[in-house]
Amino acid sequence: MSAALRAAQAPRKPALTGAPGVAFLFPGQGSQYPGMGSGLYESEPEFARWIDQGAEILAPILDLDLRTLLCAGDPGDEEMAQALRETRLTQPALFLTQYANARLWMARGIAPVAMIGHSVGEFAAATLAGVMEFETGLRLIAKRGALMQAQPAGAMLSVRAPMEALEPHLDGSVDVAARNAPRLNVLSGTFEAIEAMEARLKAADIACARLHTSHAFHSVMMDPVQDALEQALAETRLTPPTIPYVSCVTGTWITEAEATDPAYWARQARATVNFQEAVTTLTAELPAILLEVGVGGTLSAFARQTLPREADVAIVQSLPDHTRAETDDLAMAKAFGQLWAAGAEVDWAKLGPRGQTRVPLPTYPFQRKLHWIDPPKPGGAETRPQIAQDAPAALPVAAPQPILQKDLQMAAAPVETVDRKPRLVTELLALLSDISGEDLSPDDAGASFLELGFDSLFLGQVSQKLGADYGIELTFRQLLGSYPSVAAVAAHLDETMPPETAAPAAAPAPAPQPAAPVAAAPAATVAPTLPAASLGTALPADGSMVAVMQAQLAAMQQVIAQQMALLSGGAQPAAPAPAPAPFAAPQPTAQAAPAATSTEDDEPPKRGFSIGRSTNASGGDLTPAQLAFAQDLARRYSARSPKSKAYVQKYRSVLADPRTAAGFRAEWKELVFPVVCDRSKGSRIWDIDGNEYIDLVNGFGQTAFGHSPDFVIEAVTRQMERGFAIGPQSDMAGPVAERFARFVGHERATFCNTGSEAVMAAMRIARTVTGRDRIVVFSNDYHGQFDEVLVKGKKSVTDPAALPISPGIPRTSLANMVVLPYDNADSLAWVRDNIRTVAAVIVEPVQSRHPDLRPRDFVASLRDITREGGAALVMDEVVTGFRVGPRGMQGVWGIEGDMATYGKVVGGGMPIGMLAGSAKYMDALDGGMWSFGDDSVPETMPTFFAGTFVRHPLIVAAVDATLDHLERHGDALWTATAERTANAVAQMNAGLTARGLPPMIETYSSWFVPHLTEYDANAALLFPLMREAGIHTQIGYPCIVTTAHTEA
């Protein structure tokens, strides 16, 4: 008895096998839409059989035939979508679709070795595992849905933060409904409690968004469901699972005792769904491919966010989400291929006859031909053999006859070529490792550059390096399209470069060669004896491969000419006199890649700075429906703005502007052109076609008060009337600098042309004052466009460095730069250990491309370390300065830098950069304070800093007017605009989660950053779609809200 009890309580785990098995993932509520699976219902009898059977069982229970929603529904039908949001229908609809999809996979030979079910999905997993019969599972899930529908309405809140950051705010008023990923949790409770929690989390700068749900699932509001559900299960026969699965209640393998306990299933309706721990448990113990069974890719996204980057786990999606970007059949076919590619054992025969046609393939390898262009002839004497005078002027025309044997014996030994592709692969991997810092292995040779995480900017560097090392021109677009992997590039190099020959071995003394035999001739004719080939022609002294091949071909041509002359009855031409020349071993024309292979590791990719541009990579082949959609959008977009498009084309050859090609993909190149602006005012711009837009680009952050604010125009106009001389000191420069320094809380200030220039000045000052060279920056910060700050880091914090992020930046110029992970304890340790060698630590307190990350404690620790170590802390407030408050993030956090850089907002729309800081550092610009009429002198050694247009009178006037406006109306930007931005982003993220997608829009203060293209590269089409709808946005840049924007 005790042994049986222990067996029932032991986890039911799968047996490990050699090949990776397939684990089914069944999603929960939120992924449903009308018409889900309708394509499979029409084309797959196995899928239709289970849908029909289930719909008939459920019809009297639901008083509805689910097939009207599942098989005939349209995702765009709002009435049907609303009906399917009722949890009494949602739960059985999802269960039935998932179960039918799972049965279809099994009919195709893909059986699960393990499973995970998220909430409702656990019933599908249990039914497939045999815990309950199919009809029983249907009735139970319908009962569960009806019981939950009868409970009072509630609310749910998605929170984008780790549990450690969330726990201090949990006071018992809400429950944790789900732990989906390390930084993605869901809270559940009453409307009042969720509303209060939302306000509390936003006040703490924790991103959160309301979910569109009818009830507070997995919360205390579901307690009344448990008793009734347990009673219904007590009347049901439950049996131990025959397929192991991981419980999302416990986060570990289900036991027989749990699976057959009605109390477990009652508790499952109330307990937290711990998908994060469940998928971690499964992948840690089982080499499995994760296959999401059912519609959408919600669990696929959660799994990708949970599993470490180095985890070798394939994640596959079965069916499309509500957008129906591809048909059900195509999605299943792609999934089948992905399973096979990931190593799953598939039975192709079980796909069944589907109208395919067998085509014969040749049984021989395709013949490759190389066609070489001869190099220019050398200026000296001709060194090739003279053939023309030796060959007969014309050959007589005669009836063909068997003349020569197939094996014509040559006196010269054949040249053996070298198989160099393995060497090329090794060299290319070393080259990529050296440029990227990634530690690449031979296994990476077949992976696409996109799979390796390399974007177009990186591939531009690779393109340059290939040209320098191999003399082969490959554009970065070719590396994305025609040659997308190391193996493909190696094959291309091998085909393109001249062949290499093996070093000739020492040959024995040549034996006499017999004359080439002739086939039998007519009886009355005696065949003449053919001469051996004469090899007296000189081989070229330079030993180049092309020249050697030419000489060999010439010798062969000479032999053939002699033999043909004899066979045609002519005299044997006299062989030319030998002219031997030393044979030099030919050298390959390609230069070897650098011998030393860098073992530097790039940091894992994170959301954040990518120098403001989208990857020009293809997101993979588009389906016919997707391509038709993109092309139709291109036609509409082009028709809407023909003048803008014509303008860009007209000046493309002369105006070098990278923004005209942002988001380029060949599939939709016709819509890759920017809006050409005619005029602007407030929150709106008008293009040269007369279209009106609400602007969300807003000068990439420098427009805070709307376009062309009246107070700036008036101030600049007044100054223009007075003149704007460059050279003499502006009479406004001193008063405005004094006012600016007082505003931001620093002792001294200076003017620059741009924010980049301000950062450059801060670095130079810090090096001057400290006498040190090393500068520390952090991953995903953006500090401008000069070489030293266009850097990325490595994984290793123990041996950090700086690598260039684009072509044209020499690594030698980065020798004094260090890039560390932001908000990382190891980074603090490195700075603390090396602070005596550091001139400055530069921080972008809230990263412009990652505003959710606001690590105050980390920056406070940097402040303490730099103060103790005599290094400067530079706060880069070009984005946050004057946007988040009068003193920027330094005021918000109460942390003051030794210097701070500013720009954008303070110019009121005019180009500006400013640097402020303590006198200790700022004195290095001019020597410091001294006075007339006494013996004072500049005490500080100055560095060089100058610029023709700094303190431009028109710009100084604009800054003065902007400071005036901020003193009177700053709250409109710092409070009201920030609140409107937060509300808008909450609505957008709620829209994403309602469609089964994670919230992908980050925000802080009055800007937000959509990360949609990181989820799906085809989301780049959102930006032209928004412009078509009259919202001006640009791919790769934050969206900026101004005081001129109002509530809709």
> Helices 223-234 & 134-149, crossing angle to 10 degrees?
150
Q: Which residues contact 759 (CB under 8 A, 6 or more apart)?
A: 783, 784, 786, 789, 842, 874, 876, 878, 901
Q: Classify strands 803-804 and 155-160 as parallel, antiparallel or unpaired.
A: unpaired
DSSP code string of 404-464? B-SS---SSPPPPBP--HHHHHHHHHHHHHHHH-----GGGGGSBTTTTT--HHHHHHHHH
Quick check: is 876 catalytic?
Answer: yes
Tokens of 718: 């007044």
Q: Is there a contact between 1016 and 996 (Cβ–Cβ < 8 Å)?
A: no
Q: Is there a contact between 1012 and 667 (Cβ–Cβ < 8 Å)?
A: no
608 sits in the region (left: phi over 0; alpha: psi -120 to 50; else beta) called left
Q: Is there a contact between 368 and 494 (Cβ–Cβ < 8 Å)?
A: no
Q: Of residues 175, 876, 898, 960, which has the active-site annotation?
A: 876
Coil/strand/helix, residue 682:
strand
Tokens of 862: 């940097």
Q: Is there a contact between 530 and 408 (Cβ–Cβ < 8 Å)?
A: no
Beta bridge partner(s), residue 295: 319
Tokens of 147: 């019981």
DSSP code string of 221-286? GGHHHHHHHHHHHHTS-----SS-EE-TTTSSBPBHHHHT-HHHHHHHTTS-B-HHHHHHHHHHH-
Q: Of residues 782, 921, 1004, 1037, which has the active-site annotation?
A: 782
Secondary structure of 338-406 in the HEC alphabet?
Answer: HHHHCCCCCCHHHHCCCCCCCCCCCCCCCCCCCCCCCCCCCCCCCCCCCCCCCCCCCCCCCCCCCCECC
**What own/partner pairs with CB < 8 Å and gap ≥ 24 does 961-964 have?**
961/711, 961/712, 961/714, 961/715, 961/716, 961/908, 962/705, 962/711, 962/712, 962/882, 962/905, 962/906, 962/907, 962/908, 963/736, 963/739, 963/740, 963/743, 963/906, 964/711
Q: Is there a contact between 691 and 640 (Cβ–Cβ < 8 Å)?
A: yes
The rounded distance, in Å, linking the Cα atoms of 664 and 670 is 9
Quick check: is 904 catalytic?
Answer: yes
Tokens of 340: 């096979």
Q: Is there a contact between 325 and 1018 (Cβ–Cβ < 8 Å)?
A: yes
Q: Of residues 781, 904, 923, 1037, which has the active-site annotation?
A: 904
The rounded distance, in Å, linking the Cα atoms of 757 and 668 is 37
Tokens of 362: 């040749």
Sheet holding 913-917, edge to edge: 748-752, 913-917, 899-903, 872-876, 838-843, 774-778, 817-820
Dihedral of CA atoms 457, 458, 464, 465 in degrees, nearest 10, equals 170
The rounded distance, in Å, linking the Cα atoms of 493 and 156 is 56
Tokens of 394: 């014309």
The H or E element that residue 178 is part of is strand 175-181
Quick check: is 483 catalytic?
Answer: no
Q: Classify strands 1031-1032 and 684-687 as parallel, antiparallel or unpaired.
A: unpaired
Q: Is there a contact between 343 and 19 (Cβ–Cβ < 8 Å)?
A: yes
Q: Percentages helix, strand, coil for the chain, rounded to the nearest 5?
A: 40, 10, 45
Beta bridge partner(s), residue 207: 160
Beta bridge partner(s), residue 417: 501
The rounded distance, in Å, linking the Cα atoms of 867 and 844 is 18
The rounded distance, in Å, linking the Cα atoms of 827 and 832 is 9
Q: Is there a contact between 225 and 270 (Cβ–Cβ < 8 Å)?
A: yes
Provide the annotated active-site residues: 782, 876, 904
